[in-house]
Amino acid sequence: MKNRKLKNEELKRKSINEFIKSKKIPLILILDDIRSGHNVGSILRTADAFLLFKVYICGISPVPPHKEVMKTALGSDYSVDWEYKENIYDLINELKNNDCDIWSVEQAEKSIDLKKYSPKKNKLTAFVLGNEVFGVKQKIIDITDQVIEIPQHGTKHSINVSVVSGILCWDFYLKINS
């Protein structure tokens, strides 16, 4: 028999309570001025899939129960620990004071290629994801510890922010569990 697609009841999904009690990977995503609720919801779903520690939603980014967020989050806004923070600068300083490594995700002069990035297994790490058009603000890059970049070889050098979150989370998950 060929591979059979699993039915939903065969997926062994965690209940929300099981998810909340599960050990999380030490990764935080900080969403700064993400304008699309669809992107925010998709990122929440990705955070659920990889058992992220937390998601901070900042600035103009829409939050649940915004219609677009809810459409793509598919309930992950109930499982994922997320919090709205209006001021990203205060948040970054707070996380730094709690010994969190903070990385801007951007194309920059001295960025680290994702292939060369090695997370510290027991240290909380945060990735800052910026606006769909303008990316991470220079003022944010200036106060984060380092910049990480996903290598791109096409003509656009632009990946949708929700896709970026999936790439980063998968890479971090693999490296932290190896």
In whole angstroms, how large is the CA radius of gyration of the chain?
Answer: 16
Confidence of residue 145 (pLDDT cuts 50, 70, 90): confident
Other C-beta atoms closer than 10 Å to the C-beta of 15 total: 9
Are the beta carbons of 9 and 95 closer than 8 angstroms?
no
Q: Is 91 helix (H, G, I), strand (E, B) or coil?
A: helix
Res 20 pLDDT > 80: yes
Q: Does domain 21-149+157-176 have CATH number 3.50.50.60?
A: no
For the chain, the domains span 21-149+157-176
Q: What is the mean pLDDT of residues 101-105?
A: 98
Share of the chain above pLDDT 70, in %: 99
Res 89 pLDDT > 80: yes
Res 1 pLDDT > 80: no
Confidence of residue 74 (pLDDT cuts 50, 70, 90): very high
